Amino acid sequence: MANPVLFVIAHPDLGQSRANRHFAASAKSVEGVEVLDLYKVYPDMFVDGSHERHRVDNKSSIVLQFPIYWYAAPGLLKEWIDRTFSYGWAYGTNGKALKGKNFMLSVATGSEKRAYGKNGVHNHPLDAFLLPYKQTAAFCDMNWLDPLVYYHARASEKEELLAHGELLKSRLRELVALTAPQQREQEASHGA
């Protein structure tokens, strides 16, 4: 399991996003992390579910990185989940391929943290908008990990951006390290 963590970046114009672009670069710098840029790999917006299931099969963790657009992820990420997390593979009869895998969100939002809540402009905490992903993890018997959220992405200071990138790298290294004992165990059982 050379790259046990799959980091899926979903941004329709990554070159224009200083935060998401920085986080994708941060993920690429962590050994054991495979970075999948959905809009680069699938410019036609059609996801090859079979190919993506093979990509996910040998991963122990899936991290989704995306900006919050109108209270959700960009559309191609939804397409990726729809096509990849199929019946009989991710859920349903014999659908156990994702069972026990770690599932984490890393999201960026243009709003400040105080904008999410009863008195904020969005009227709900950010967790309310992430509930479909948490339920997806539960439905597929995955381990839901606390999301990593970068607030005020457009107007934050460079130091804040860099610090958040370091925090992301730290979380990714933790996910890679979680896999190391499992990998050694598998290799030992196969006589490697």
Rounded distance between C-alpha atoms, residue 61 and residue 46, angstroms? 23
**pLDDT per residue rounded down to tens, the chain (192 residues):** 578 999 999 999 999 999 999 999 999 999 999 999 999 999 999 999 999 999 999 999 999 999 999 999 999 999 999 999 999 999 999 999 999 999 999 999 999 999 998 899 999 999 999 999 999 999 999 999 999 999 999 888 999 999 999 999 999 999 999 875 554 454 444 444
Question: Which two three-digit tokens encode residue 17?
Answer: 């996003």
**Concatenated DSSP letters of 10-44:** --TTGGG-HHHHHHHHHHHTSTTEEEEEHHHH-TT
Instruction: Render pLDDT for 40-87 as a digit per residue (tens, 0 to 9).
Output: 999 999 999 999 999 999 999 999 999 999 999 999 999 999 999 999
The span from the CA of 7 to the CA of 32, in Å, is 10
Confidence at residue 154, expressed as pLDDT on a 0 to 100 scale? 85
Sequence-separated (6 or more) residues with CB below 8 Å from residue 43 = none
Q: Residue 155: what pLDDT?
A: 87
- Predicted local confidence at residue 184, as pLDDT: 46
Token duo for residue 161:
């951006």
State how far the Cα of 64 lies from the Cα of 51, in Å rounded to an integer: 18
Quick one: pLDDT at residue 179?
A: 76
Task: Say what the pLDDT of residue 190 is.
Answer: 45
Domains of the chain: 5-189 (3.40.50.360)
Q: Do residues 7 and 175 make contact, with C-beta atoms less than 8 angstroms apart? A: no
- Cβ neighbourhood burial of 108 (10 Å; 0-12, 13-18, 19+): buried
